[in-house]
Structure 1
């Protein structure tokens, strides 16, 4: 009897993936869980989740301000969810490890969601005179990439592309442009707004919105968050310092059709 052929090795180590997932901090876990829950809810037909939670410029003010915070959790299909999760998880995990769980909650439920949304609404309504809805957590992916590119620029100002030396801070902008060219129906404006807010964060202009450390320590001590919440990252457990940005190496439409904000800027409008 012929010996069955051996299966090819997996392109990744399942044990390492499991270890990485087990060590994810609390806020990152909650964000990923919320994204998955909203995607599962999209499978039913009673409640139009995408229509409810997408960022629709004409519908935000004054009665639907919640859209400024819900749109990053809403996605348009399985592949949209998968690609966004793969892109967002390492970036958000490092951010939380660097800044702490409470700071991550305050920023991502506040200015790091509402500021890109506000810029998008201004550009969409008053410059482009459109009302194209957007959804997807790649708004955070591009924001974090923009922030990281500022830090990279400080230590490694240029990267080489053939005979050209290109400033490293332009890499998220180049990604926006390439994806807009390669993928049809993408929201270049949405990702551009995210990159701009990421630049502001990386340059330190948004420090004013970070809760004071004394307040965070008081809340943590009063509620005993470190003892009660598994995978919680306290102010005193931060890895890379209070206001630094992400650690990095020196390696060189219509209102019914929201626009996806996907992995590395791959946004697509729902429908045709």
Structure 2
């Protein structure tokens, strides 16, 4: 009797994936759940979730300002959803671990969604006079990459590419260009706007939007959030300290770079 052929090993360890997902903090879980929920809603044909929540320049008015917050949660199809979720999860998880759950909610529901959207609307509608709609959480992916690039630049100003030394802060721009070349129907302008806001955030100019630590402690104590909410990251539990803390500068820096993972894309609904 012939011995059945052994199955090839999986390219990843399922146990490690489960362990990683089990450790995700609360806000990261809620974002992924919202992305999944909007994708499931889009499967029905009665009501178009994309048309309802996309960032469409001509559809923005006082009654549709919710689009400034809904567009990162909405995607075009399964693979768009999956790739963006994979790209976003480690970046958002690290951000929440550094800054806490309440700060993450305040920033991503507020300026880290609305500022890239406002900048995109300014260029797309006012300057370019176009009406290209965008959706996708890659706005947060590129924003967080922009912020991380600025922070990394403080300790590793350059990375080597052959004989050339390239400033570390340019890495999200290279990723944006490469992604736009390799993947069709991505919003190059939308990604640039996200990177620009990420740079400003990384430089510390958006600290005004960060809730005061005393207020966060009062809310957490009053509502006992740490005791009531599993996976909640309190203001006193953060891994790397308060907003704006930068990596320690290495005096013997040789310009080594930090590897970058695959990026999701913001799907464009209209044509240019």
The interval holding the TM-score normalised by the smaller chain is over 0.9
The alpha carbon displacement at 1:186 in A equals 2.0
1:202 aligns to 2:202 (yes or no): yes
Which runs of structure 1 show a deviation greater than 6 angstroms over 4 or more consecutive aligned residues?
A: 245-249
* Cα distance between partner residues in 2 of 1:63 and 1:96: 31
Structure 1 residues 225, 22: CA separation in 2 closer, same or farther (over 3 Å shift)? same
* Equivalent residue runs for 1:1-272 within 5 Å: 1-244=1-244, 251-252=257-258, 264=263, 266-270=265-269
C-alpha separation in 2, matches of 1:247 and 1:179: 28
Q: Secondary structure at the match of 1:236?
A: coil
**Deviations, residues 72-100 of structure 1 (Å, cap 9, x unaligned):** 00000000000001000000000000000
The change in CA–CA distance for 1:67 and 1:211 in structure 2 (over 3 A counts) is: same
What does the per-residue CA deviation read over 1:177-197, in whole Å, with 9 as the maximum and x for residues that have no partner? 112222233211100000000
Does the aligned pair in 1 maintain the 2:97–2:238 contact within 8 Å?
yes
Unaligned runs of 5+ in 1: 253-262
Per-residue deviation at 1:163? 1.5
Q: 8 Å contact 1:185–1:269 — kept in the other structure?
A: yes
Contact 1:94-1:246 within 8 A present in 2 as well: no
User: What secondary structure, in the 3-state scheme, does the structure 1 residue paired with 2:166 have?
Assistant: strand
Structure 2 unmatched runs, 5+:
249-254
Residue 247 of structure 1, CA deviation: 7.3
Residues 147 and 199 in structure 1, CA contact (< 8 A), matched pair in contact too = yes
CA offsets 1:139-171 (integer angstroms, 9 cap, x no match): 000000000001111111111111211101001
SS for the counterpart of 1:243 is: coil
* TM-score, reference length from structure 2: 0.92
> CA offset at residue 63 of structure 1?
1.3
SS at match of 1:92: helix
Structure 2 counterpart SS, 1:117: helix
- What is the RMSD computed on CA atoms of the aligned residues? 1.8
Aligned residues: 262
CA contact (8 A) 1:75 1:136 kept: yes
Contact 2:158 2:256 (C-alpha < 8 Å) held by counterparts: no
Q: Is the 8 A contact 1:148 1:247 kept in 2?
A: no
Distance 1:246 1:37, change over 3 A: farther
